[in-house]
Amino acid sequence: IDEFFAGYRRTALRPGEILLRVELSDPPPQARVVAYKVSKRRELDISAVAAGLRVDVEDGVVTGARLAFGGMAATPARARGAEAALVGQPWSEAACEAAARCIDQDFTPLSDHRGSAWYRATVAANLVRGWFHDARGEAMPRLPDRPTATLLGGLPAPGTPGARP
């Protein structure tokens, strides 16, 4: 990701070059891989947040992690702090929670018509939280609120004291 995306709407491709294909190898059986797209419409819509998440798990312990997000910065980027929070830990809800709490340090999302910075950070963290349950085929429990977060202009975040319904 770091080598291909050079900046907002810029890639490492030279003038006249086009990308013909992207080859991905099959993940090993011990890997937990998922991709998420969060947008108003399922098709033909730019994501507010997109995520590609992978952990390699051996004997119940995370041995490698790659968490990449779109919509969280000018270019798609990895959540390196969240990755570090997972490696060496048991693959568990607690490990995913620790990784989710790193999202705020990994990114400073933008605010635009697709979502505020608060919304994007909350969605990205909740995707990481839900990943563990998705990998196990479970329904996800209710997510914790972020009572200290605010929307633009200092308005209370939805679901917090003082917020309008």
Between 121 and 143, the higher pLDDT residue: 121
Whole-angstrom distance, CA of residue 36 vs CA of residue 50: 6
Domain locations in the chain? Answer: 26-154
3-state secondary structure of 45: coil
pTM strictly above 0.95: no
pLDDT for the residue 65: 95
Of the candidate ranges 39-43, 87-91, 145-149, 157-161, the one whose mean pLDDT is the lowest: 145-149
In angstroms, what CA-CA distances link 99 with 22, 50, 52, 88, 165? 28, 17, 14, 12, 30
Most confident of 12-26, 35-49, 67-81: 67-81
β-pair partners for 112: 115
Does 26-154 carry CATH code 3.20.20.70? no
